[in-house]
Structure 1
Amino acid sequence: MYQLAYPDPAVVPGTDFPLGSPHASDIPMKFANVGADELPGKRATARHMSALWAGFARHGHPTAPGVPRRPACTRAERATMGIDARCRIVHDPDRAERLYGEDRTPRSRR
């Protein structure tokens, strides 16, 4: 499991709500397709994501130079690769939101 941790400074049009990392915003980064005028942090994030995907294709697990190895994701640990200019392993990110959703999921669907 991974989480794109790069904070996009843009806001949702017409609001002051931060855009964050909306669905599919990782696609250009998987191909390291960011412009030369992008912030250095975004270029580094794109390099990491692209290398991790290539490592996954080659070895069956996401791996890249200078990036920590992600342990297997288990229900107990929920290890998640935080992909950013400096990648890190995060355990059970957004736990409160996950628990909120689980509390509202019918037991038959868990």
Structure 2
Amino acid sequence: MPLAADAPRRRPAAQAVARREGHRPGRTARRESCCGFGGTFALKNADVSNAMLADKMRHVEDTGAEILSAGDNSCLTHIGGGLSRLRTGVGTMHLAEILAATEGDVR
């Protein structure tokens, strides 16, 4: 299962994902770029926020991943909501959920 990690560096958690059967970690383009949520930023600057989200979703879709992982719940909620509205089939999963699923694999 292709998995796009929206984290800038390869860490032990990403290595644990790589060891999971059927998972193939990847990276999104411009992963360091904001998704456009940022709390009140999305409300006060809706047009800019939506454009940033569209860019982020395009980068996620370009990976061919079935799951997007990240370490920030607000980013996952924002990106996941956009992907869901577009019916892309791409799910989101917090890095902690991946680590919990690999319990015993991380050293």
TM bracket, shorter-chain basis: under 0.3
Q: Which has the larger radius of gyration?
A: 1
Which structure carries more relative contact order (alpha carbon 8 Å, separation 6+)?
2
- Specify which structure has the higher proportion of strand: 2
Q: Which has the higher helix share?
A: 2
Please report the TM-score for the alignment, with normalisation by the length of structure 2.
0.24
For normalisation by structure 1, the TM-score amounts to 0.24
